[in-house]
């Protein structure tokens, strides 16, 4: 028997009011043939996790009494890195010691252990396996625990819809300093595309611009420049120099900011909206739709990959490769270690994580 | 014997039509027709909002015509003509054919037109009837723009309309000509329509929309009410209903609500051109329901593929001949030989706000 803990909620609300730690037993001596037992290495706090708990996210886990709660409850968390500690007799894809991530969202990753069937997980190489394959690096816990949302979002938005010509074409994005934005900058560099990132003006602007350029950003502009007609000429000259077009815009902000990046698109360009952090609506001049034939679509990694396991696996492999080869830098998280029997219960740690999310991405390690 | 002809023209853009539009007179001599020329007599020319937008300026500039040597823009994009003389080398057409221009910016507002058949395009005109009984003048005169727009918009963005009666279109400006054709063509596919109209429209207007095939007619205030997408809409479309296409012809405050009405994977298509207008919508809805927004412009489609326009007209002709299309009403304005064409147009433009005007030439 393994005594496990999971963070759950039975009612939607603010995390500090509704989260509880549920303790439950996993019978690891009597596994069904396709079952595995995993222990958690790390599970981060994402904005979508918080929105799920608040009940304002479009997808959410079902509430059940599976974990022995008195009321039907849902487990929290969507991303996480796990280590396989036990496998059923018929399990072929995993062996003890393998690292694994959930195959789908809504698994409930804020927990110490989980019992699952093997299809619920996808294997990623542990550091030893990477070394055996001659790779210079193994995945870190942060990389593994945060691989399935942001890097995949950035990669798929850049590759799945519009064919950008390496060396020539550009994409433009607002939220250039967000986690997805930084992955998009790096991945576009790895794929040979040109990037134009919009960031908020700030006192230490030069510092941030250099940081993004060090990651591989080609051009970084402020929101004021994004909104300025005069500055458009400068952007046109950059694009002209490479002989390409701005074919893709990535929007996670909305408002005038989305209008600004949509205006930079060439004829027949595409804007993908993947976030709505500001809760501002997207605003598009109708002339862009009608005369320039711009299309604006939504991007939600969960939905795209839901019925497309091959795409998920091939994308994951690419990201893992880049991590192993040291070509991609992960967005750093602020890590806090959970100690079973320690001072703080698991849900208390996650409530702190939610509160501290404004300071940076929070990762609880185990 | 030469014919005295006139055209409504402009050389500069502006919205003061009284001053911008001019009467240009020119002569055509059928006996001097070149071997590759066709002389057309005008039967009817509608006034469409886009024609006025073109004169005001800000979008596609028509290429100038040379009437008696002077470069001018001729107003109008839609018109019905009769072939009255053919140059000796012209194939594909016969005297008596009813024809419409294939490409936009033909400059239709004139009582005669001389068309030159170029080597790279031997079919600058689409024959809509070679037997005057097949199609009425009203149908032929207005087939080129509004029915074509409605037909293409329904078929371009959704290719797999279900015939089970659960697929829906929602459209603002539900009382517009395009919307009236959309309702009719949708009904032929068993696709349902919700037509949104301004508050206060008369029962008569509403009845006409139902008669033309709208499944449901609602007022703008119903669409923008808080309970529309949570309660009113589900009641209209039923449990299995899906709103797959939202059509935006006017922009403005209804747009976010049209967007919100869409079912998963739906698409909002903007086709009405109002200069300076924007659309706004909820970003979170866009990615959580995988909604797309796009634009439709008949002119662009036609320039990209003139054959596509020809095919569309042929499909429409079939529907007309089968008696499957009802013509929305419009006002016929007569133009008699000797009338001042400019005055006729200026009066009709003034009356356009009350309903569609079509100049009919005697």
Q: At what angle do helices B203-212 and B177-188 cross, to 10 degrees?
A: 40
User: Is residue A355 domain-shared with residue A266, that is, in the same domain?
Assistant: no
User: Is residue A235 domain-shared with residue A174, that is, in the same domain?
Assistant: yes
CB A120 within 8 A of CB A314: no
**B317 HSE (CA, 13 A, CB side):** 22
- In which domain, by residue range, is A47 found? 2-146+333-365
With 70 as the cut, is the pLDDT of residue B212 above it?
A: yes
Mean pLDDT of chain A: 95
User: Is residue A178 domain-shared with residue A290, that is, in the same domain?
Assistant: yes
* Residue A302: predicted pLDDT: 87
Residue A321 included in any domain? no
User: Is residue A22 domain-shared with residue A45, that is, in the same domain?
Assistant: yes
CB B76 within 8 A of CB B109: yes
First to last CA, chain A: 19
CA–chain centroid gap for B284, Å, is 34
Residue found under tokens 């890097």:
A151
User: Is residue A14 domain-shared with residue A116, that is, in the same domain?
Assistant: yes
Q: How buried is B160 (Cβ within 10 angstroms: 0-12 exposed, 13-18 middle, 19+ buried)?
A: exposed
Within A146-262, strands assigned E span 170-173, 194-199, 219-222, 246-251
**B214 HSE (CA, 13 A, CB side):** 26
Main-chain phi, psi angles of A237, to 5 degrees: -70, -35
Residue A182 included in any domain? yes
Residue A223 included in any domain? yes
- Strand order across the B3-10 sheet: B22-28, B3-10, B70-74, B65-67
**Chain A closest CA to B361's CA: distance in Å?**
33
Two tokens at B104? Answer: 């936009």
Nearest of A209, A218, A221 to residue A190 by alpha carbon: A218
Chain A partners within 8 Å of B299 (Cβ): none
Nearest of A214, A209, A215 to residue A180 by alpha carbon: A215
Reported as a single tens digit per residue, the pLDDT across B66-84 is 887 888 999 999 999 999 9
Nearest of B1, B3, B78, B89 to residue B41 by alpha carbon: B3
pLDDT band at B133 (very low <50, low <70, confident <90, very high): low
Two tokens at A269? Answer: 């360009």
User: Is residue A24 domain-shared with residue A48, that is, in the same domain?
Assistant: yes
Two tokens at A204? Answer: 């230490």
Residue B104 CA to residue B73 CA, distance in Å, equals 13
Report how many Cβ contacts below 8 Å link chain A to chain B.
103
Which one of B270, B289, B291 has the shortest CB-CB distance to A289?
A: B270
Q: Chain B within 8 Å of A274 (Cβ-Cβ)?
A: yes
Chain B partners within 8 Å of A286 (Cβ): 248, 251, 270, 272-274, 277-279, 295
Nearest of B309, B9, B336 to residue B151 by alpha carbon: B309
DSSP B354: G
* Residue A9: predicted pLDDT: 97
Residue found under tokens 């069937």:
A117
- Domain harbouring A139, CATH code: 3.90.180.10
* Residue A277: predicted pLDDT: 65
User: Is residue A25 domain-shared with residue A160, that is, in the same domain?
Assistant: no
pLDDT band at B39 (very low <50, low <70, confident <90, very high): very high
Residue A315 included in any domain? no
Chain A partners within 8 Å of B272 (Cβ): 286
Residue A189 CA to residue A182 CA, distance in Å, equals 11
Give the mean model confidence (pLDDT) for residues B112-121: 93
Nearest of A278, A248, A59 to residue A171 by alpha carbon: A248
Q: How buried is B336 (Cβ within 10 angstroms: 0-12 exposed, 13-18 middle, 19+ buried)?
A: exposed
First to last CA, chain B: 19
* Residue B327: predicted pLDDT: 83
Residue found under tokens 């020809």:
B310
The fraction of chain A above a pLDDT of 70, given in percent, is 99
CA–chain centroid gap for A316, Å, is 12
The interface predicted TM-score of the complex, written ipTM, equals 0.89
User: Is residue A219 domain-shared with residue A287, that is, in the same domain?
Assistant: yes
pTM for this structure?
Answer: 0.92
Residue A314 included in any domain? no
Reported as a single tens digit per residue, the pLDDT across A196-217 is 999 999 999 999 999 999 999 9
CB B296 within 8 A of CB A309: no
Nearest of A325, A330, A327 to residue A189 by alpha carbon: A327
CA–chain centroid gap for A360, Å, is 14
A303 SS3 class: helix
Q: Which residue of A has its CA nearest to B256?
A: A281
Q: How many domains does chain A have?
A: 2
Nearest of A148, A68, A131, A54 to residue A357 by alpha carbon: A54
Which one of B271, B280, B294 has the shortest CB-CB distance to A283?
A: B280
Lowest-pLDDT range, A56-65, A78-87, A98-107, B215-224?
A56-65
Residue A219 included in any domain? yes
CB A340 within 8 A of CB A365: no
Give the mean model confidence (pLDDT) for residues B286-294: 94
Residue A324 included in any domain? no
User: Is residue A178 domain-shared with residue A155, that is, in the same domain?
Assistant: yes
pLDDT band at B112 (very low <50, low <70, confident <90, very high): very high
Q: Which residues pair with A198 in a beta bridge?
A: A221
Rg (CA), chain A: 22
Which one of A59, A282, A294 has the shortest CB-CB distance to B286?
A: A282
Within chain A, strands assigned E span 2-9, 20-26, 35-45, 74-75, 81-87, 99-102, 113-117, 121-124, 170-173, 194-199, 219-222, 246-251, 270-273, 282-285, 295-298, 334-337, 362-365
Residue A178 CA to residue A275 CA, distance in Å, equals 11
User: Is residue A170 domain-shared with residue A298, that is, in the same domain?
Assistant: yes
User: Is residue A128 domain-shared with residue A190, that is, in the same domain?
Assistant: no
Residue B71 CA to residue A113 CA, distance in Å, equals 81
User: Other CB atoms closer than 10 Å to residue B142's CB: what's the count?
Assistant: 26
**Chain B closest CA to A302's CA: distance in Å?**
9
Give the mean model confidence (pLDDT) for residues B47-53: 90
* Residue B332: predicted pLDDT: 94
- B312 or B136, greater pLDDT: B312
* Residue A278: predicted pLDDT: 66
Reported as a single tens digit per residue, the pLDDT across B294-309 is 999 999 999 999 999 9
The fraction of chain B above a pLDDT of 70, given in percent, is 98
Two tokens at B296? Answer: 């439709």
User: Is residue A56 domain-shared with residue A23, that is, in the same domain?
Assistant: yes
DSSP B189: T
Residues of B labelled catalytic:
59
Residue A287 CA to residue A265 CA, distance in Å, equals 12
* Residue B60: predicted pLDDT: 65
- Domain harbouring A214, CATH code: 3.40.50.720
Q: Which residue of B has its CA nearest to A269?
A: B294
Q: Which residue of B has its CA nearest to A304?
A: B290
pLDDT band at A340 (very low <50, low <70, confident <90, very high): confident
CB B357 within 8 A of CB B330: yes
Residue A295 included in any domain? yes
With 70 as the cut, is the pLDDT of residue B59 above it?
A: no
User: Which of A281, A302, A323 delimits the end of a domain?
Assistant: A302
Q: Chain B within 8 Å of A285 (Cβ-Cβ)?
A: yes
- Positive or negative, the CA dihedral B115, B120, B121, B122 is positive
A268 SS3 class: coil
Q: Chain B within 8 Å of A55 (Cβ-Cβ)?
A: no
Residue B185 CA to residue B328 CA, distance in Å, equals 13
* Residue A84: predicted pLDDT: 98
Question: In sequence order, which residues have a C-beta less than 8 Å from that of residue B270 and are 6 or more positions away?
Answer: A286, A289, A290, B248, B249, B251, B279, B293, B294, B295, B296
């Amino acid at each position: 028997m393994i005594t496990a803990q999971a963070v759950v909620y039975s009612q939607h609300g603010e995390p500090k009011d509704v989260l509880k730690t549920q303790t439950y037993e996993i019978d690891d001596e009597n596994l069904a043939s396709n079952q595995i037992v995993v222990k958690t290495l790390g599970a981060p706090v994402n904005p979508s996790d918080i929105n799920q708990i608040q009940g304002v996210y479009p997808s959410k886990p079902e509430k059940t009494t599976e974990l022995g709660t008195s009321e039907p409850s849902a487990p929290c968390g969507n991303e996480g890195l796990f280590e396989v500690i036990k496998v059923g007799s018929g399990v072929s894809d995993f062996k003890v010691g393998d690292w694994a991530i959930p195959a789908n969202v809504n698994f409930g990753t804020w927990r110490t252990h989980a019992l699952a069937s093997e299809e619920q997980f996808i294997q990623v190489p542990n550091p030893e396996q990477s070394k055996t394959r001659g790779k210079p690096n193994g995945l870190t816990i942060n990389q593994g625990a945060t691989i399935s949302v942001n890097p995949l979002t950035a990669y798929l938005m850049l590759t799945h819809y519009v064919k950008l010509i390496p060396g020539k074409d550009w994409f433009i994005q607002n939220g250039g300093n967000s986690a997805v934005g930084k992955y998009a900058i790096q991945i576009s560099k790895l794929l040979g595309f040109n990037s134009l990132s919009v960031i908020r003006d700030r006192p230490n602007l030069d510092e941030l611009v250099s940081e993004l350029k060090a990651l591989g950003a080609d051009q970084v502009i402020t929101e004021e420049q994004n909104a300025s007609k005069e500055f458009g000429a400068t952007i046109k000259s950059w694009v002209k120099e490479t002989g390409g077009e701005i074919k893709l815009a990535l929007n996670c902000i909305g408002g005038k900011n989305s209008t600004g990046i949509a205006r930079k698109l060439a004829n027949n360009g595409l804007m993908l909206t993947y976030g709505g952090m500001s809760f501002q609506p997207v605003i598009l001049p109708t002339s862009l739709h009608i005369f320039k034939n711009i299309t604006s679509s939504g991007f939600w990694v969960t939905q795209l990959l839901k019925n497309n396991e091959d795409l998920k696996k091939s994308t994951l492999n690419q990201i893992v490769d880049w991590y192993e080869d040291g070509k991609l830098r992960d967005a750093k998280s602020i890590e806090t270690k959970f100690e079973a029997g320690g001072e703080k219960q698991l849900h208390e740690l996650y409530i702190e994580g939610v509160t501290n999310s404004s300071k940076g991405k929070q990762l609880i390690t185990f | 014997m030469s014919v005295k002809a006139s055209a409504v023209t402009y050389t500069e853009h502006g919205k003061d039509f009284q001053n911008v539009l001019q009467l240009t007179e020119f002569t055509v001599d059928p006996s001097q027709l070149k071997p590759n020329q066709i002389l057309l007599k005008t039967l009817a020319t509608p006034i469409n909002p886009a024609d006025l937008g073109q004169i005001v300026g800000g979008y596609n500039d028509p290429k100038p015509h040379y009437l008696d040597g002077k470069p001018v823009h001729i107003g109008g994009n839609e018109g019905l003509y009769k072939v009255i003389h053919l140059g000796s080398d012209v194939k594909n057409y016969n005297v008596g054919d009813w024809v419409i221009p294939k490409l936009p910016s033909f400059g239709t507002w004139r009582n005669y037109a001389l068309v030159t058949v170029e080597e790279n395009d031997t079919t600058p005109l689409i024959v809509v009837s070679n037997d005057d009984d097949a199609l009425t003048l009203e149908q032929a005169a207005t087939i080129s723009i509004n029915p074509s727009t409605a037909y293409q918009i329904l078929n371009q963005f959704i290719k797999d309309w279900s015939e089970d009666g659960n697929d829906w279109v929602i459209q603002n400006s539900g009382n517009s000509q395009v919307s009236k054709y959309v309702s009719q063509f949708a009904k032929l596919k068993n696709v349902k329509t919700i037509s949104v109209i301004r508050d206060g429209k008369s029962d008569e207007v509403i009845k006409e929309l139902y008669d033309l095939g709208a499944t449901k007619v609602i007022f703008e205030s119903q669409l923008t009410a808080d309970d529309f997408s949570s309660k009113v809409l589900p009641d209209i479309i039923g449990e299995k209903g899906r709103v797959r296409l939202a059509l935006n012809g006017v922009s403005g405050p209804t747009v976010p609500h049209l967007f919100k009405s869409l079912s998963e994977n739906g698409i909002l298509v903007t086709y009405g051109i109002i200069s300076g207008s924007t659309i706004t919508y909820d970003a979170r809805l866009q990615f959580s329901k995988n909604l797309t927004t796009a634009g439709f412009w008949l002119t662009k489609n036609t320039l990209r593929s003139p054959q596509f326009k020809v095919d569309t007209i042929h499909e429409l002709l079939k529907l007309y001949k089968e008696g499957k299309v009802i013509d929305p009403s419009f006002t016929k304005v007569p133009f008699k030989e000797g009338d001042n064409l400019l005055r006729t147009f200026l009066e009709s433009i003034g009356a356009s706000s009350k309903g569609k005007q079509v100049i009919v030439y005697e």
